[in-house]
C-alpha cells in the first residue's frame, strides 16, 4: 500500500498558517494590507483582549464579487499577480494568496463584502471549512471578523505572550502601515478605547503627529535625496529627541514596511557622532525604487526583502540624513554671528 499521500487542503493551510500567522498582530497586518491593496481610504480596526477574542477590520475599498468570495479563502488564490513576471514586479502589499486561507484555518472568520453599496456577500468559515455564504445588505467595502484565534492550534496559543505584549505589537504594526500610507485614515480600538488614529490626509508629518504626538512630529526634519536608482525621503528627529530602542526607525520600500538591519544602521550612521551611546532617533524613511530592484518573495510575512544595490542605497540614506542635519546645525551658528 502507498505510504505517501498529499495532505488535505485543511491541513496544508494549517501548516502555512504557522508561517504567516504567528500571533494576533499578524492577522491585523495581513488584513490591513488587504484593505490598503483594495484602495481603501478608511480602515477601522477593533480588537478585544489583544486580538485573541476578536479582531475586526472594516474598510471602504473595492470589495469582492460574490463569485470570488470562496476562492479568496483558497490557498495561493490572489487577484494581485498572474505570471512569473509579475512576481518580480510586485506593486501591491499582498501577492502570495495565503493570508485569508491561513487565518481561516486557525480561527473563526466572518467576511462581509460588497463591490457597491447595496447587496453584498457574507461568508462564515471556521478551522478552514467554509460553513455558509449568503447574500446580505452591505456598504461598499469589506469587513473581516476574526474570533477564537488559534482555537485549534493549542501550541500556538501557548506561544502567544501577555496581552500587553501582543497589543503593543498590534499598535506597532498599525502605526507602521499608517506611516507607509498617509493617504489612508486608520483607527485602532482596543477593548472599546481608541488607541491610535491617523488623519489620512496624505501628509506624512500629520500621520506622525497621530502616532508620536504633535510636538515630536513638528520637531522632526524633512529630508530627501536621490540617485539614479533610488529616491529617499522622510522625517528624522533632531539628535536630542531619541529613544532607547532602534524600533522607532521605520523603513518603507514602495509603501511596504520592511525590517533591514543594514538600512537601519545607515540611518544611525547619518547622525555620525551626534547621538549619545545607546540612543536612537525617531525616523521614517520612505524609499521609492523600481520594484525590479527588490525581491519581496523572501519570507512568508514579506517583512524581509532582498535588495539589489543595497550598498548604494545605504550610502544614499546616510548621506541625505547627514546633509539635512548639517543644515540644521548651521542655523544657530549663523544666528550667533548676527
Ligand atoms: P493576497 O493579498 O496575497 O492576494 P489574501 O489571502 O490576503 O492574498 O487575499 C486573497 C484575495 O482576496 C486578494 O488577492 C483580494 O483579491 C481579495 N481580498 C482580500 N481582502 C480584501 C479586501 N479587504 N478588499 C478587497 N479584496 C480583498
Ligand atoms: Mg493579503
What pLDDT digit, counting tens, does each position of 167-185 carry? 999 999 999 999 999 999 9
Domain ranges across the chain: 9-197, 220-332
Low-confidence ranges of the chain (pLDDT < 70): 329-338
| Cβ 64 under 6 angstroms from ligand 1 | yes
- Is ipTM > 0.90 here? yes
Query: Which-ligand-closest: CA of 72?
Result: 1
Beta bridge partners, 189, equal: 46, 194
- Report pLDDT for 333: 47
Determine the topology of domain 9-197 in CATH.
Answer: Heat Shock Protein 90 (3.30.565)
Hunting for cell 484555518 — which residue is that? 105
- Report pLDDT for 18: 85
In whole angstroms, what is the distance from residue 50 CA to residue 322 CA? 39
In whole angstroms, what is the distance from residue 124 CA to residue 134 CA? 9
In whole angstroms, what is the distance from residue 83 CA to residue 80 CA? 10
Q: What share of the chain is helix, strand, coil (3-state, %, to 5)?
A: 40, 30, 35
| Cβ 287 under 6 angstroms from ligand 1 | no
Grid cell listed for 88:
518580480
Measured in angstroms, how far is the CA atom of residue 34 from the centroid of ligand 2? 5
Which residue's CA is the closest to the ligand 1 atom numbered 2? 94
φ, ψ dihedrals at 34, nearest 5°: -60, -40
Q: In sequence order, what are the residues at sequence separation of 6 or more whose Cβ sits closer than 8 angstroms to the Cβ of residue 50?
A: 24, 163, 164, 166, 167, 170, 190
Q: In sequence order, what are the residues at sequence separation of 6 or more whose Cβ sits closer than 8 angstroms to the Cβ of residue 262?
A: 310, 314
- Report pLDDT for 268: 97
In whole angstroms, what is the distance from residue 215 CA to residue 245 CA? 20
Point out the ligand 1 atom lying closest to the alpha carbon of residue 96: 3
Measured in angstroms, how far is the CA atom of residue 34 from the centroid of ligand 1? 5
Query: Which-ligand-closest: CA of 123?
Result: 1
Measured in angstroms, how far is the CA atom of residue 75 from the centroid of ligand 1? 11
Instruction: Give domain 220-332's CATH number out of 1.10.287.130, 3.90.870.10, 3.40.50.300, 3.30.230.10.
Output: 3.30.230.10
Domains 9-197 and 220-332 alike in fold: no
Q: How far is CA 235 from CA 111, 221, 248, 273, 320, in A?
A: 37, 5, 12, 19, 11
| Cβ 234 under 6 angstroms from ligand 1 | no
- Report pLDDT for 336: 47
| Cβ 61 under 6 angstroms from ligand 1 | yes
Ligand 1 pocket check: which of 72, 93, 110, 130 to mutate, most ligand atoms within 8 Å of Cβ?
A: 72
Amino acid at each position: 500500500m502507498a505510504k505517501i499521500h498529499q495532505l488535505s487542503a485543511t491541513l496544508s493551510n494549517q501548516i502555512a498558517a504557522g508561517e504567516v500567522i504567528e500571533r494576533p498582530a499578524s492577522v491585523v497586518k495581513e488584513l490591513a494590507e488587504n484593505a490598503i491593496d483594495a484602495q481603501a481610504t478608511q480602515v477601522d480596526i477593533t480588537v478585544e483582549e489583544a486580538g485573541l477574542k476578536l479582531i475586526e477590520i472594516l474598510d471602504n475599498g473595492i470589495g469582492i464579487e460574490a463569485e470570488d468570495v470562496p476562492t479568496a479563502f483558497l490557498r495561493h488564490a490572489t487577484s494581485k499577480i498572474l505570471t512569473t513576471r509579475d512576481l518580480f514586479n510586485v506593486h501591491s502589499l499582498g501577492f502570495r494568496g495565503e493570508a485569508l486561507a491561513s487565518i481561516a484555518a486557525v480561527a473563526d472568520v466572518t467576511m462581509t463584502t460588497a463591490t457597491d453599496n447595496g447587496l453584498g456577500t457574507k461568508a462564515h468559515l471556521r478551522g478552514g471549512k467554509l460553513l455558509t455564504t449568503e447574500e446580505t445588505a452591505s456598504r461598499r467595502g469589506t469587513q473581516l471578523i476574526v474570533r477564537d484565534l488559534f482555537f485549534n492550534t493549542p501550541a500556538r496559543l501557548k506561544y502567544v505572550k501577555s496581552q500587553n505584549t501582543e497589543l503593543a505589537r498590534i499598535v506597532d504594526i498599525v502605526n507602521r502601515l499608517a506611516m507607509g500610507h498617509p493617504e489612508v485614515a486608520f483607527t485602532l480600538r482596543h477593548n472599546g478605547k481608541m488607541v491610535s488614529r491617523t488623519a489620512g490626509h496624505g501628509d506624512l508629518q500629520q500621520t506622525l503627529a497621530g502616532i508620536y504626538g504633535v510636538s515630536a512630529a513638528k520637531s522632526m526634519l524633512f529630508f530627501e535625496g536621490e540617485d539614479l536608482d533610488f529616491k529617499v525621503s522622510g522625517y528624522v528627529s533632531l539628535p536630542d529627541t531619541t529613544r532607547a530602542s532602534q524600533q522607532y526607525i521605520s523603513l518603507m520600500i514602495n509603501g511596504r514596511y520592511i525590517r533591514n538591519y543594514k538600512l537601519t544602521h545607515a540611518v544611525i550612521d547619518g547622525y555620525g557622532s551626534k547621538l549619545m551611546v545607546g540612543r536612537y532617533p525617531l525616523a521614517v524613511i520612505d524609499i521609492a525604487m523600481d520594484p525590479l530592484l527588490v525581491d519581496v518573495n523572501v519570507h512568508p510575512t514579506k517583512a524581509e526583502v532582498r535588495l539589489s544595490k543595497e550598498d548604494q542605497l545605504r550610502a544614499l540614506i546616510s548621506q541625505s540624513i547627514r546633509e539635512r542635519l548639517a543644515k540644521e546645525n548651521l542655523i544657530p551658528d549663523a544666528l550667533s554671528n548676527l
